[in-house]
């Protein structure tokens, strides 16, 4: 027999390593399932909050215009009723990106030229930032800094020497607060405040004058009635008075006002005892329990709408130009508007913090992943301890440390893959169901399939990486095991 | 690398086997430190094991027998002294070279079989081949031949859990031969088996030793082993108490009886 010449042991091809690891995972399926469950829970949590935030963001984006039109009439009536508060004008001046039409309106009403607008906007932006700071401050600290003053009243108050001293002293005490501008800048701003205020006053006077001219034109006609002709002669009146009204806005406004009048007429019927009684009889409730919601639901069906019109006429109510189709259309629009209102409320918090899921949720997700990592590390350590003899035997048979390490890492990564997949599906279903209940029909048109798929891919990849990283230490321990442990008998 | 022949004849040199030394230890010591206490697991062991011989190692538990086994099986390194396996100094080898040595030169047989639970009999046998760089059909063919050799050709697809202890030990023997090692290291191979199954395993080991010329080193308490071995070695208190040829011992046993 010839003496052996000792060489380096060849490295096993990855396919074979994977094959051996897979055989092991299959054999220990049940134990592995418990580990997988831990990963599923963590990844489902992540996927759930990611999907919810993505859906909220998508819905918010898709309904933004619809929500704006929902408030269109309110906005115009407010605008045409009295001069706007300083804060609103400042916010409009400071708007980023700037709305050129809106700025032109303010410039025209305030009587400033384009050159004057630039420094005005800059100052307005600064004022807006400072006001935002005070608006988000809690009452106690604001009281210490600026006393009872509110909004632009703060700037007036701080003109006083003593108030300024109180403010700077208070700010110095509140170390955690970050004032948006330096004290020197703020002082300079306060010195110029009088000028800025005068310019704002000019804008407000312009608004008041414009409103007065419109009022005189209207005479006794209510503003809402006049706005029905916003796409006609009354629109020209508004433009002549100095307001910016684009043709699209005008026609939208006219439609909304017409709808609003119909809605008001229908909602007025609820005060009629005859109508109440009929609806109550139909729905088998007491007349006192009839709600507007109930009537709108009825009106969604055309034959009920026709029936309702007859009841209105029977009770000597003016039905005007209302048709059954108009009523069903209105009822559907009301339902949609309610949904939009829910959407507006639900999507208020969409988009903040890291990944658009908010600081709190980000933290929760991180903590859940940390817990998951500890769980995996523990499970893998147990697996290593349990398989001492197997590992040592493999080393006796000529396995390299790298092979043992790879075997455990692959096992962990496979568990992570399974957990990630399960978690992504579970989290998606959970979030999808919850959002479907909240947004109903709004969801179908705005569902962010691509983003959600990406979130799913991220969850799966993260599950794998998390499992593999958590398994590094246990795998190292396995790889370093002495082969002579195989001889040990328990 | 040729071994320098010892100037004086080695103690109790075997007569029937070729006299090439396959394992040689020189002043082999193993010292463990537990706190301030120093434990001598092995105190200066000098021994030579010859190619093709069947040697039985006996000794009570705690005698250093396991430590001795780990040393000559390249599973552990001595604190002092040297171990040569086929004239290669084990202490000089890197981790990769040690794996190579364990994979091809030495076959290990354990008291509790140590089969990989999630692999079939054939997979167990072919795993060391895969580590040695042989895989696919070639490995399967050789694996089946080895299973045939131990009489388990028909059960190649069974997992350890579906086999009796004797069958598992036979698979383990087939596995230990996967890369045609020159040395077979058996740690109490019959301790977990009943009398008859133990006989079968011993018969296989004897056959391998005679037909294939595999150097076989057996740690055992089993007195049947005396009938088939060439030499016997007693270890006590970390040292070799005695080495004797079988014919010398049989006289003594007879005498005692």
The residue-averaged pLDDT of A146-170 equals: 87
Q: Which of A59, A60, A66 is nearest to A256 (CA)?
A: A66
Banded pLDDT at B7 (limits 50, 70, 90) = very low
How distant is the Cα of B210 from the closest Cα of chain A, in angstroms? 15
The residue-averaged pLDDT of A15-44 equals: 86
* Inter-axis angle of helices A247-268 and A292-299, nearest 10: 110
Tell me whether residues B103 and A398 touch, CB distance under 8 A.
yes
Please tell me the distance from the alpha carbon of residue A292 to that of residue A269, in angstroms, as a whole number.
Answer: 9
Percent of chain A with pLDDT strictly greater than 70: 97
The residue-averaged pLDDT of A24-29 equals: 82
Q: Which of A330, A253, A333, A338 is nearest to A72 (CA)?
A: A253
Tell me whether residues A397 and B135 touch, CB distance under 8 A.
no
Contacts of B158 in chain A (CB under 8 A): none
Query: Residue B155 has what DSSP assignment?
Result: G
HSE-up (13 A, CA, CB side) for residue A237? 18
Contacts of A30 in chain B (CB under 8 A): none
Establish if A427 touches chain B: CB-CB under 8 angstroms: no
Establish if A29 touches chain B: CB-CB under 8 angstroms: no
State the sign of the Cα–Cα–Cα–Cα dihedral A255, A259, A264, A269: positive
Name which of A7, A389, A487 is nearest B66 (Cβ-Cβ). Answer: A487
What is the SS3 assignment for B96? helix
B50, B87, B103: best to mutate for the A interface, most A CBs within 10 A:
B103
In chain A, domain spans? 14-64+351-487, 81-218, 256-346
Spell out the alpha helix ranges (H) of chain B: 65-72, 95-104, 121-131, 137-149, 165-176, 195-212, 225-228, 246-256
**pLDDT tens, A369-424?**
999 899 889 988 998 888 889 999 999 999 999 999 999 999 999 999 999 999 99
Contacts of B97 in chain A (CB under 8 A): 6-9
Q: Bridge-partner residues for B82, per DSSP?
A: B26
Banded pLDDT at A478 (limits 50, 70, 90) = very high
Nearest CA in chain A to B72: A484
Tell me whether residues A487 and B75 touch, CB distance under 8 A.
yes
The residue-averaged pLDDT of B127-143 equals: 91
The token duo for B228 is 């088939």
Name which of A23, A398, A487 is nearest B118 (Cβ-Cβ). Answer: A23
The token duo for A418 is 């399974």
Name which of B70, B99, B118 is nearest A398 (Cβ-Cβ). Answer: B99
The residue-averaged pLDDT of A126-148 equals: 86
What pLDDT is recorded for position A359? Answer: 77
**pLDDT tens, A232-282?**
888 888 888 888 888 888 888 888 888 888 888 888 888 888 888 888 888
Nearest CA in chain A to B192: A489
ipTM attached to this prediction? 0.88
Tell me whether residues A484 and B70 touch, CB distance under 8 A.
yes
**H or E stretch covering A203:** helix A183-218
The token duo for A271 is 């005060």
Name which of B76, B95, B128 is nearest A397 (Cβ-Cβ). Answer: B128
Q: Which of A230, A469, A257, A437 is nearest to A339 (CA)?
A: A437
**pLDDT tens, A282-325?**
888 888 888 888 888 888 888 888 888 888 888 887 777 778 88
Q: Bridge-partner residues for B218, per DSSP?
A: B56, B186
How confident is the prediction for chain A on average, in pLDDT?
Answer: 85
Establish if A400 touches chain B: CB-CB under 8 angstroms: yes
Task: Give chain B's domains with CATH numbers.
Answer: 51-72+96-256 (3.40.50.300)
What pLDDT is recorded for position A78? Answer: 86
Name which of A7, A398, A401 is nearest B131 (Cβ-Cβ). Answer: A398
């Amino acid at each position: 027999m010839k003496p052996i010449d000792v060489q380096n042991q060849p490295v096993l091809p990855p396919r074979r390593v994977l094959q051996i690891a897979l055989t092991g995972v299959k054999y220990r399926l049940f134990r592995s399932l418990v580990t997988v469950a831990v990963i599923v829970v963590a990844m489902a949590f992540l996927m759930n909050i990611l999907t919810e935030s993505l859906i909220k963001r998508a819905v918010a984006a898709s309904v933004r215009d619809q929500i704006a039109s929902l408030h269109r009439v309110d906005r115009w009536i407010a605008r045409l009723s009295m001069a706007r508060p300083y804060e609103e004008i400042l916010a409009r001046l400071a708007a980023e990106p700037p709305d050129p039409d809106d700025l032109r309106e303010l410039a025209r009403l305030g009587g400033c030229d384009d050159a004057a607008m630039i420094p005005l906007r800059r100052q307005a932006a600064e004022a807006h930032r400072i006001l935002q700071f005070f608006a988000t401050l809690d009452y106690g600290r604001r009281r210490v800094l600026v006393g009872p003053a509110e909004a632009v009243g703060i700037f007036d108050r701080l003109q006083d020497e003593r108030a300024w001293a109180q403010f700077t002293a208070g700010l110095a005490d509140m170390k955690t607060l970050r004032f948006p501008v330096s004290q020197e800048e703020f002082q300079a701003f306060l010195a110029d405040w009088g000028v800025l205020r005068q310019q704002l006053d000019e804008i407000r006077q312009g608004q008041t004058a414009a409103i007065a001219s419109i009022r005189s034109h209207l005479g006794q006609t209510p503003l809402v009635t006049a706005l029905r002709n916003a796409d006609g002669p009354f629109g020209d009146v508004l433009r002549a008075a100095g307001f910016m009204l684009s043709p699209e806005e005008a026609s939208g406004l006219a439609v909304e006002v017409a709808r609003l009048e119909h809605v008001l007429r229908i909602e007025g019927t609820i005060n009629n005892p005859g109508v109440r009684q009929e609806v109550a009889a139909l729905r088998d409730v007491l007349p006192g329990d009839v709600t507007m919601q109930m009537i709108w639901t009825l009106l969604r069906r055309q034959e009920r709408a026709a029936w309702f019109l007859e009841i209105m006429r029977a009770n000597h109510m003016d039905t005007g130009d209302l048709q059954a189709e108009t009523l069903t259309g209105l009822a559907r629009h009301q339902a949609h508007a309610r949904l939009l209102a829910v959407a507006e409320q639900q999507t208020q918090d969409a988009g903040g913090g890291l990944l658009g899921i908010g600081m709190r949720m980000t933290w929760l997700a991180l903590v859940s992943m940390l817990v998951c990592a500890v769980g995996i590390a523990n499970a893998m350590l147990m697996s290593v301890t349990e398989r001492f003899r197997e590992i040592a035997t493999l080393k006796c048979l000529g396995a390299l440390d790298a092979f043992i390490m790879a075997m455990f890492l692959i096992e962990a990564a496979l568990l992570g893959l399974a957990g990630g997949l399960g978690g992504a599906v579970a989290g998606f279903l959970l979030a999808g169901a919850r959002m479907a209940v909240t947004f109903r029909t709004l969801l179908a048109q705005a569902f962010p399939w691509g983003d959600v798929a990406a979130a799913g891919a991220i969850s799966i990849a993260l599950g794998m990486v998390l499992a593999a990283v958590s398994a590094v230490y246990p795998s190292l321990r396995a790889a370093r095991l002495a082969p002579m442990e195989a001889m040990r008998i328990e | 690398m040729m071994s320098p022949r010892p100037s004086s004849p080695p103690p109790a040199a075997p007569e029937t086997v070729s006299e090439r030394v396959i394992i040689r230890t020189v002043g082999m010591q193993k010292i463990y430190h537990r706190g301030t206490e120093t434990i001598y697991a092995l105190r200066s062991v000098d021994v030579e094991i010859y190619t093709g011989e069947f040697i039985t190692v006996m000794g009570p538990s705690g005698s250093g027998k396991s430590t001795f086994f780990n040393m000559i099986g390249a599973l552990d390194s001595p604190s002092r002294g040297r171990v040569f396996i086929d004239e290669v100094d084990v202490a000089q080898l890197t981790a990769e070279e040690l794996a190579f040595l364990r994979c091809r030169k030495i076959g290990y047989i354990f008291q509790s079989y140590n089969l990989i639970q999630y692999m079939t009999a054939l997979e167990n046998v072919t795993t060391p081949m895969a580590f040695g760089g042989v895989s696919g059909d070639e490995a399967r063919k050789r694996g089946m031949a080895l299973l045939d050799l131990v009489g388990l050709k028909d059960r190649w697809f069974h997992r350890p859990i579906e086999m009796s202890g004797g069958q598992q030990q036979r698979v383990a023997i087939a596995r230990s031969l996967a890369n045609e090692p020159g040395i077979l290291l058996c740690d109490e191979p019959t301790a977990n088996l009943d009398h008859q199954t133990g006989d079968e395993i011993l018969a296989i080991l004897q056959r391998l030793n005679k037909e294939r010329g595999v150097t076989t080193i057996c740690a055992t308490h089993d007195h049947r082993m005396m009938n088939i071995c060439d030499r016997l070695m007693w270890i006590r208190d970390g040292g070799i108490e005695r080495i004797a040829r079988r014919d010398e011992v049989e006289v003594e046993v007879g005498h005692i009886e």
